[in-house]
Structure 1
Amino acid sequence: MSRRSAYGLGTRRTADWRDLAACTDAEPEDMFPEGKGKDPAVQDARAFCLRCPVIHECLMDAMRAEGAAGKDNRWGVRGSLTGDERAALYRRNPGKWAAYRTRG
């Protein structure tokens, strides 16, 4: 299975974990809420993540993409964590963050 890519009209990409994400049909603003962890909009975004079959892959992808970026350069809720929470996760153990959170 393949899906049209944002890289060009004729470009196709192989299907991957993103095709299985619970938020695939969500409005973008739902996954990029204003506010902090306990705000209702953030909790609604977390609800998508907590029922998602690829929550772990999403978090790992965010951590790889964001690397050592500070909390001001991390956006949205990914893998059920806000940008601030992902920055804190990275700072706690930068060499081993991938093993920190497992789906379960």
Structure 2
Amino acid sequence: MFDNSVYPFDARGVAKRFRHAAIFGALESLDDGETMRFVNDHDPLPLLGQIQQRYGSQVGIAYVAREPGNIVIDFTVQLGAQQEAGGGTAATGSCGGGNGCGCSGG
């Protein structure tokens, strides 16, 4: 059965110079509890660091597959985790107030 709250994002089809901006835009369009399933041909460690710095606990990161040439990561918006952690992460994000991330930076 297909879960409607999981949205695929294949980074391999996005030009390298636009990838991070496209990924951030996709994350910011998600609502609380929704997941973006990210697919890539390499492990995006710098991107993961940027996501953690930008969104903190508001975006959960879970590897689905982690093998050479096949990386699949679920990014899940979890606004409750941000509140449980004592807040603070929303103010440091620079997302512009998108629907899913909980920031009020608009």
Q: Would you say same fold, with TM above 0.5?
A: no
Structure (1 or 2) with the larger CA radius of gyration: 1
Give the TM-score normalised by structure 1.
0.29
Q: Higher strand fraction: Structure 1 or Structure 2?
A: 2
Q: Higher helix fraction: Structure 1 or Structure 2?
A: 1
Give the TM-score normalised by structure 2.
0.29
Higher relative contact order (CA 8 A, sep 6+): 2
